[in-house]
Structures are given as structure tokens and as C-alpha cells.
Structure 1
Amino acid sequence: MQYVLPAAPAAPPWWSRLLARAAHGGAGTAPVRGRRLRAVAPSPYGEGPTPTLTELYHARRLDMVRLALFLVDDRHTAEDVVQDAFAALCRAYGTSLDGLRDPGAYLHTAVVNAARSVLRRRRTARAYVPPHPGAGAPVDEGLLLAEEHRHVLDALAGLTRRQREVLVLRYWSELTEEQIAQTLGLSRGTVKSTASRALDALEKRLEAVR
């Protein structure tokens, strides 16, 4: 069986939904209506036949690179993060992914963990200030066309790591609170409270640039 990304009905951009939630006081993380999670199979968590590693790679690589980009804010680094995540998946389960009940959930967790490792190394590297400023971060033109989008990314960068992860998984990957809790190793209550605080902080940061 060949796995493909399902077509999704038109919906507001993810950052517009995020802005709308922030503008309403950060009230929780209600599910997005009228649009399904971009997935490998009809349901991303626990249903349908298990894809092979090749099928998973072709179906989810771009989506995972975009997820990683929102966490590390560098396209080339995001691509490396995703390659590392797929390599770890192959080492653990082989190319057939036999024994892996939920490849989508595993992949989200692997990408988030790899992004965390990058950010830890980056904090050390940024302690050194080069004599001349380097080039700006690479821009993914397909993702960063709207000025509004750029403002959201800049505001996200000012949040704590956990807050940023929760919001990106909720509004970009469109995971439920339960799925986010599974991905990040948190309780559902912690996910809900983190999202609420993150939305409040995001609103304040965006107000400062308006």
C-alpha cells in the first residue's frame, strides 16, 4: 500500500489560528475544526497498517522539516534534525518498522528530541560572538511569505522551549492535548496549562510589535 498525504479542505493558515487563540485570552487548546491532521494513514495515531520506513519518509519528511524549522528557526538545521530522527527510527526498528505500533507518534517525539539537542548545542556556540556578523538565517520561502507569519515566529522564539513546543505541535501539527502529552512526555494537565500561559505570553509579545 502506498501512503500519501490526504487532501485537506481549505483552512486559515496555522499562524492565523494561533493569533486568533492568543487574541481571545489564551483559553486552552480546543481542537481545530474542519481540518484533519496531516497524516501518513487515515488516522495518525494507532490505526491503519504500519508503513515502511520509505513510505513514512516520503509521506512525512516535508511536514517534519517544517515542524523542526519552527523549533530551531533554521532550514538547514531543521533538515539535519529530521534526517537524525529518521536515522534513529531505522536503527531502532529497521526499514520495515515491525514492532512499532505508532510511527507518527514516534517520529514527532524523535524530531522534538533532536531539536532540543540542537538548541542545547546552539546555546553553547552562541556564547562566542564572531568578529563579523554572519549571514541571516535561511528563509523557506514557502513558509515565510506573510509578514504576519514572521511576527509569530519571532514571538515564538521568545517563549520557553516547552511553551514553543506545545504551541507548534498544537497549531502546526494539529495534535490533541493527549497526543502532545505523549510526544513530550508530559501530563495532559501540564500541556493545557502550558498552552494557556504560552498564548498569554505570545499575545503580549505580538502586542509589543503592533
Structure 2
Amino acid sequence: MKSLSTFLARSVSLLALTLSLAFAFDPSSVQDDAFVNGKFCKDPKLATLEDYVITGLDERRPVTDPIGSNVTFVNGNNLPGLNTIGLSFARVDFAVNGQVPPHFHPQASEVLFVTEGTVLAGFVSSDEDGNRLFTKTLNKGDLIVFPMGLVHHAVNVGKGPAVAFGTLNSQNPGMITIANTAILWSNPTT
């Protein structure tokens, strides 16, 4: 009798684990006129090629920001075909000494791929043994991964402009810039 109760207990536990894993997934990207991610999904019969293509990401963007970078973000807002797919992209144009300041994405990991110039990029881990800095000088053709929720940065350390492309595994990754957050923490009335 004890073996039967042990068998049943293990079977129920295994079933519960299987069901929890079976339902641990993102919603289907196929939608029928639903309001998803703050947007109405387009009727697939009305979709056009323009909903799935964006052009011009090979063109240089002017860098006028005082920190020396210009980020062109691509998500479901400007490329409707990305809605519900769980991806977004960014082109980053760097002036000499330009940077993307330390920040993190609470809802996405990121892959940064350098297509021009030399970029110093890295992130800070949050290990049990203490925080560790991972940093690398990246040249054209190099790539770095920033795990979700970890503070990361990128700085043009070359003698000319630099360009990098980021891919994020969320259409709404969020972005919290550390400098702005630190200012708020030190002066909550701001």
C-alpha cells in the first residue's frame, strides 16, 4: 500500500510539474483583432509587406545629443510586424568619445553587434560573490551579450565614428538609465 501511495504522490507531483512547464510560455503571436501590447492587431488579410520591412538602417544618423550617441529604436510602434513577436532592435550611431550611458533593461537581454569603429562595451554582474565588471574592446564584426537586468554600457573609443546594432528579446524591454536613477535617489524632490 505504501508503494502505491508513493507512486501516486510522485505521479501527481510529476503531473503538476509538467502542467506548470507546459503553460510557461509567451502568448501566441497569432492574434485575431485583439488588443495586444497597447495596440490593435492588424487583420492578417489587411497586412502588407510594409508592415514587415523597414529600410534605411544602413544610413548614418546625425549625433546631436551631448552624450555623443543617437539611438534609432525599431519596435512594434514603427514596424507593425514586430507586434507580439517579442523582439526589438536598435541602431546606435556614436560620435568620437560618444557613449550609451550605463543602463539596464528590466525585461530583456540584449546582443550588441559592432558594424563600424571601435566600441568599449561591458556589463556588471550581480553574483553571490559580489559584482564583477565584464568589459571588452569590440571592433567591426564583434558581438557582446548583455544578460537581462544587468547594468551595461558602450563607449566609442576609436578615432572615428562607430555604429552598433542591438537586438533585444522583448518588444518592450524598458530602459533605466543609471545616471538619471542615481540623481533621483540622491534628490527625491527632483
Structure 2 length normalisation: TM-score? 0.24
Larger Rg computed on CA atoms: 2
Higher relative contact order structure (alpha carbons within 8 Å, sequence separation ≥ 6):
1
Higher strand share: 2
